Structure 1
């Protein structure tokens, strides 16, 4: 079981929030690599008089989530989403690879955006035994083992289309200088229409939306570093002007950059 120690992205107010919980991430075994991107587990133990609401940037991946003895499938998320922690608790999650559930369960990501549904909706299997096994697991290794055994029967080799869609996302994550669909198409060496079709079928978001999302990741990191001015962020990330940055920030995060920084 190999830990994923890469930097965590998409977490709002990450430095201030980190002391409130423990996050661990693990890569899947070889047999599950076509289905699972990573397992992620969160624990917290807060004083009786304290709560913590963790907010996160939108996520184009599907997730399986065990929370309060219930297993849910969470579709792609288009807006900032949050989870409130209090007392002692735990979240156990599986982040699926882009397109994996499309191939396995013949679902349409676009129809699942901002939707949550039961495990039975996907595989017509009761979740009670899985919940019981995960609840009884004593450590992360056992949790990964239980989840891996459950998911093993659903794994399929990654299709060419899903791999191409995932490649588009990886390109956006790896190239911080992509700000237009035309630049993305050139970097991927694909026609724009092919990129649009792949994104719609396997991800559920347009390439333009994905570019905005990953550019906002960069803007957020620069903003939280407090070492860069708004004007510098606008220039570095190729926004038209500060109004353009503020509009994107407010539409996806729900507040302006200045108000975000002032929030405790």
Structure 2
């Protein structure tokens, strides 16, 4: 199943009006991959001589991208860092992204989560490299999505998600479901220390950092709505005050809520 990425949805995209220009779509993975893949997404663009700086407050997830055209690399693994992801989009190209659940990285990769940031998928990670190259070899988007399902189902049969990975999955699901949820007692029956260990092992960040990312994605979504004000968004999302929201967004996205709203209005978003 595929559907357009709704500019009004919680995508983390900081210039949501660009989504239509990128022909951005979500693609649901095979149901058997529910513990391995959260979602797949695809973007395609042709900008001529224009350049667009695209910024995204990433979800708390490791993402594998298969890229073609005017792109920095063909096969990329991205682990969310302390700042929003940013890239200058130019020329023409397309990207298929596979957003893994926390348990998914150990299923498809021989390496630990590692440092945050964007790295090429290479021979140091032979398991993931073989999967990514098989996906990239398919000609059409439909074929690549079919290979994603087939290869990842085979990988999960060979190396099922671990109990630690499944605990991290449950923690992220709960924090995503309830933006206001406290970061203690997130998963019933699991200690806070076990949850923290599981998230750090699979995502490289603890519960507070995961919750912060999810809430900031919601901040971006709400601020993009017509008539939104930073004060109203701060109150709705449970920030102590508007200054707390300002510091939080500026720390990750490098922009204040007021400046972000002004930039969206200037872009017509």
TM-score of the superposition, structure 2-length normalised?
A: 0.82
Instruction: Tell me how far 1:30 sits from its aligned partner.
Output: 4.1
User: Which structure has more helix as a fraction of its residues?
Assistant: 1
1-structure distance, mates of 2:130, 2:237: 47
Aligned ranges for residues 118-157 of structure 1 at < 5 Å?
118-123=121-126, 130=134, 133-134=137-138, 137-138=139-140, 140-155=141-156, 156-157=159-160
C-alpha deviations, 1:8-60, integer Å up to 9, x for none? Answer: 5211121x2123111222222244444333332211122x2322222110332
User: Distance in 2 between the 1:249 and 1:189 partners?
Assistant: 33
Q: In the alignment, what sits opposite 2:209?
A: 209
- Equivalent in the alignment of 2:260: 260
Q: How does 1:155-234 map to 2 (within 5 A)?
A: 155=156, 156-178=159-181, 180-182=182-184, 185=185, 188-234=188-234
- In structure 2, do the counterparts of structure 1 residues 148 and 54 end up closer, same or farther at CA, with 3 Å as the change threshold? same
Separation in structure 1 between the aligned mates of residue 76 and residue 187 of structure 2, nearest angstrom? 36
Contact residue 79 and residue 253 of structure 1 kept, 8 A? yes
The runs of 5 or more residues in structure 2 that have no matched partner are none
1:178-221 alpha-carbon deviations (Å, 9 max, x no partner): 2x323xx1564533222212211222111111121122122222
Higher relative contact order (CA 8 A, sep 6+): 2
Report the equivalent of 1:107: 111
Does the 8 A contact of 1:61 with 1:96 survive in 2? yes
Secondary structure at 2:24 match in 1: strand
- Structure 2 vs 1, CA of residues 158 and 231 (structure 1 numbering), >3 Å: closer, same or farther? same
| 1:72-111 C-alpha deviation (Å, 9 max, x unpaired) | 22233332112332232111222222122235545332x2
* Structure 1: gaps spanning 5 or more residues: none
Give the TM-score normalised by the residue count of structure 1: 0.83
Aligned residues: 254
Runs of 4+ in 1 over 6 A off after TM superposition: none
Q: Quick one: structure 1 residues 52 and 39, their matched pair in 2 at CA, closer, same or farther if it must change by over 3 Å?
A: same
